[in-house]
Amino acid sequence: MSIENSSRREFIKTSLFFGASALVPVGLALTNIVQGKNSDDRRIIVIGAGLAGLACSYDLYKAGYNVILLEARSRPGGRVRTYRDPFADGLYAEMGAEYVDSEDHYVKKYAKEFGLSILKAKLYDGVYVRGKKFRMKDLQSLRHQLPYADVEGSNLFGQEKKYINHYVERIQTWFKQNSISSFSLHDSGGQKKSKNSININNLPQDILDLDNLSVADLLRKEGAHKDIIELYTFTNATESTGRPETLSAFSMVLGHFMADSFNEETDEGRIQGGNDQLPKAFAKSLSNTIFYRRPVKKIEYNNDGVEVSFLEDGKLTSLKGDKCVITMPVSLLRRTKINPAFTADKMHCIRKQSYGHVMKIAMQCKHRFWDESASIGQRVFTDTPLRRVYHHSIDQPGPRGILLSFTSGSDAEKLGRMSEARRMEVAQSTCRKIWLDTPQYWEGGISKYWNEDPWIRASYSVVGVGQKDFREILARKEGLCHFAGEHTSIYRSSMNGAIESGLRASREIQIDN
């Protein structure tokens, strides 16, 4: 069935049908399967089967723990979501996490362990901003310049750096004075703790004070033209799905210091054949320990253990454990009953942690018109509502192909308020501006707006103004409750970070026992 010929309702029905075919009736109650509500002293209840919960469970399981993994959905992977069924010819699209960077050692380690290979992604070929098309190579050779005031040199990314460089240099000087040769926050997911781990709160006070300013405020204060802030909104769109008016300036400066800011040369890849294979491989290894469609509603704990209450077939039931690991996003944890409440600073971070907005749209086209010689290219950076648009099906033979868009921040919010049909109209008309032939080959599309997904209701965590300490507080264990999830990792907002956090929580438990 071509997407074009099916109505949105049919489309959803089809997707639901395929989703539902994976379901089995709940059948035996979990409490019967795991032999009793009461815990043995190695029973660990893990909440959430995203990469954080899966990695944590896998590590604990291998260490001989009795793991019970509760997941609200009927599939593993959380924000790693590959759509396959809506498309023809074996095409698929990553509607959630997509790129694996060259530094993502945890993703690479487990991909290797499960026999998955990483496909190298394409770099940007073109830019479409302020209604004008540019080939990347013409910008790089300075044949053309971006139509933004005060842009210098040939770079698209990092134009804000000149305004904050003196802060970056202050951090570098501080590092030299303190004889710290390289920078590492506390990566404790691995076996070894980094020698150079530092506490960010030891940085000079004027640097720490930047946390009270937004990115937009700092850039304005340092004399940046509004065009530089506007450009930053789009260049930063995948790294952080928030708006410059709400993001912490401290976090941006630290990002530049760590030199890990995204740029047009960033070496990226994705798992060949679909990222969903990674969570599925974890889940298969854990098979009997995962219980799907069990949304957790309440977490109680005391000095002797934890009791987790969840819905099972519509009925509230509970299980006791020695400890629990909470990996669900904070956007959901703030809706969960906690008894007794965690410490005041933890509860504050749970209530206030900032997230952005994100939507992806996958568009099936019957011909790969983006490869024609007059085309601007197949991976295009834009300031349109679609923001980034690119050929996704690079590992699939044609003639059909999928264009994928990544929209974040206020543009995602705007698209999110539209009906699915309207989103598709915007997607098609926007692509037409980039590639004139789009309507001729368009077969249909589908969107995924994560802020309307009931089990995340957000994108991924961002460091909001005043939130520089949130990550550490959110990661800190409280009594017998441990915490993981991308929002607790130094590699936040990534698959790598989710895995690192799960391994860190597993290690905490193993050290305690």
Based on the shown chain and the rule CB under 6 A, indicate whether residue 356 belongs to the binding site for ligand FAD.
no
450 Cβ partners below 8 Å, 6+ apart? 79, 96, 357, 358, 359, 456, 457, 458, 459
Site string for ligand FAD, 32-51 (x = CB under 6 A): ---------------xxxxx
Terminal CA-CA length for the chain: 55
The nearest distance, CB 279 to ligand FAD, in angstroms, is: 8
Element counts in the chain: helices (H) and strands (E): 18, 21
The nearest distance, CB 291 to ligand FAD, in angstroms, is: 9
Residue 477 and residue 78: Cα distance in Å, rounded?
23
Closer residue to ligand FAD, CB minimum distance, 147 or 255 = 255
Closer residue to ligand FAD, CB minimum distance, 50 or 86 = 50
Residue 455 and residue 329: Cα distance in Å, rounded?
8
- Cβ–Cβ < 8 Å for 500, 491: yes
Q: Restricting to residues 244-303, name those near ligand FAD by CB under 6 A.
A: 295-296
When binding is defined by CB under 6 A, the residue of 46, 60, 68, 72 that contacts ligand FAD is 72
The nearest distance, CB 124 to ligand FAD, in angstroms, is: 15
The nearest distance, CB 359 to ligand FAD, in angstroms, is: 8
The nearest distance, CB 163 to ligand FAD, in angstroms, is: 27
Based on the shown chain and the rule CB under 6 A, indicate whether residue 121 belongs to the binding site for ligand FAD.
no
Closer residue to ligand FAD, CB minimum distance, 6 or 15 = 15
Closer residue to ligand FAD, CB minimum distance, 163 or 342 = 342
Element (H, E) at 319: strand 315-321
At 218 the three-state DSSP class reads helix
Using N-to-C axis directions, what is the helix angle for 8-21 and 420-434, rounded to 10°?
A: 100
Residue 302 and residue 35: Cα distance in Å, rounded?
22
The residue type at 211: D
How many Cβ atoms from other residues are within 10 Å of residue 245's Cβ? 14
The nearest distance, CB 334 to ligand FAD, in angstroms, is: 11
Based on the shown chain and the rule CB under 6 A, indicate whether residue 403 belongs to the binding site for ligand FAD.
no
Q: Are strands 118-120 and 82-83 parallel, antiparallel or unpaired?
A: unpaired
Is the peptide bond prior to 399 cis by the omega test (within 30 degrees of 0)? Answer: yes
Q: What is the side-by-side strand order in the sheet with 118-120?
A: 100-101, 268-271, 118-120
When binding is defined by CB under 6 A, the residue of 460, 471, 475, 504 that contacts ligand FAD is 460
The nearest distance, CB 306 to ligand FAD, in angstroms, is: 14
Cα 413 to Cα 53, 252, 359, 419: the distances in Å are 28, 23, 8, 12
Residue 37 and residue 23: Cα distance in Å, rounded?
25
Contact window for ligand FAD (CB under 6 A) among 68-76, 199-207, 397-405, 423-431: 68-76
Site string for ligand FAD, 189-228 (x = CB under 6 A): ----------------------------------------
When binding is defined by CB under 6 A, the residue of 34, 45, 46, 71 that contacts ligand FAD is 71
- Cβ–Cβ < 8 Å for 164, 253: yes
Site string for ligand FAD, 90-109 (x = CB under 6 A): ------xxxx----------
Point out which residues bind ligand FAD (CB under 6 A).
47-53, 70-73, 78-80, 96-99, 295-296, 327-329, 332, 336, 358, 360, 450, 455-456, 459-460, 485-486, 493-498
